């Protein structure tokens, strides 16, 4: 009985360690794969367009104050402000699988540049010389760079799949009950497509 009891305790301890390790892996940053709902993607595009519009309008407003050969306002916009927005767009999709994130990321980057050009032209009263060519080249380079960075990120931090909350996409591995600890939504094992031991 003593031997059986010690084995039982050891087995429970091993199982507990395995569950903790699985739980830890599940909640590690850049590992858990998520999906972004369509409504949230639309909101992201709107936010990207608004940010691009603000940057474009601000750049056009400040342009008369920089009459020298170097337009510092354009330099700050094209090499600091817009890249910062694009870095946020790429970084915020690091846990979305690349095949699903790539087209949406391209659309978001395009919304930034289009809104930037439109707002700039509306405030300034017209396009600058070669604006379309420069903006198109800038957008294509940004798209290619953003897609490559996202792909390489997921190469170094592989995404894991698992049962996620239908309401907020929270990873439910290690959840103590049938209620999501993130959003409080109740779930069933049937809708998750798993059995209780999988959690």
Query: What pLDDT sits at residue 33?
Result: 63
What pLDDT was estimated at residue 97?
81
Mean pLDDT by 10 residues, the chain (199 residues): 46 47 41 72 95 95 85 91 95 85 93 94 84 89 94 82 71 80 81 66
**Can you say whether the dihedral through the CA atoms of 20, 22, 25, 27 is positive or negative?**
negative
According to the model, what pLDDT value does residue 112 have?
96
pLDDT, position 189: 75
In 3D, which of 134, 135, 199 has the Cα closest to residue 163?
A: 199
């Amino acid at each position: 009985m003593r031997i059986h009891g010690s084995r039982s305790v050891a087995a429970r301890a091993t199982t507990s360690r395995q569950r903790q390790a699985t739980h830890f892996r599940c909640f590690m940053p850049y590992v858990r794969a998520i999906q972004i709902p369509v409504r949230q993607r639309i909101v992201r595009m709107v936010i990207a367009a608004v940010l691009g519009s603000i940057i474009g309008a601000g750049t056009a407003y400040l342009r008369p104050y920089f009459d020298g050969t170097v337009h510092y306002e354009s330099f700050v916009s094209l090499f600091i402000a817009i890249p910062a927005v694009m870095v946020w767009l790429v970084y915020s999709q690091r846990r979305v699988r690349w095949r699903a994130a790539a087209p949406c990321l391209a659309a978001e980057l395009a919304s930034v540049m289009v809104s930037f050009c439109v707002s700039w032209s509306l405030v300034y009263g017209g396009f600058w010389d070669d604006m379309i060519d420069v903006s198109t080249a800038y957008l294509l380079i940004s798209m290619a760079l953003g897609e490559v960075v996202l792909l390489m990120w997921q190469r170094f931090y592989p995404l894991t799949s698992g049962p996620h909350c239908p309401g907020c996409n929270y990873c439910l591995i290690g959840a103590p009950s049938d209620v999501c600890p993130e959003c409080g939504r109740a779930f069933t094992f049937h809708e998750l497509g798993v059995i209780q031991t999988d959690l």
